[in-house]
Amino acid sequence: MNICILMGKIVSEIEFKFIIKSKHKSIAYFDMELVNKSIIRIKAYDYMADYVYRKYKANQVITVEGKIRGDGMVEIYKKQKNFTNFFSTSNI
């Protein structure tokens, strides 16, 4: 199984869209910068897309759990507790 847990800072605005003629009803996208300065495109579907759009903001440090897709994006499928108190975020 393909599982990844990433922590980083949101470096773009959250984009939210409704999807027509798909098994999913909505999608949210954003870019996240990791400690090594690489930028990862993150997406979430349906109830996770709604949660991301309501709760996450630009420049917020977050931890997400998801899976790496074939196109290089990470699809969030589970909310993570706020672990930022346990990690040094000075590099992010």
Q: Are 55 and 32 in contact (CB under 8 A)?
A: no
pLDDT at 73: 85
Q: Tell me: the pLDDT tens digits for 14-30?
A: 999 999 888 999 999 99
Residues 6+ apart with CB under 8 A from 72: 41
The model's pTM is 0.80
Residues 6+ apart with CB under 8 A from 18: 25, 26
Please give the torsion angle defined by the CA atoms of residues 22, 24, 28 and 29, in that order, rounded to the nearest 10 degrees.
-60
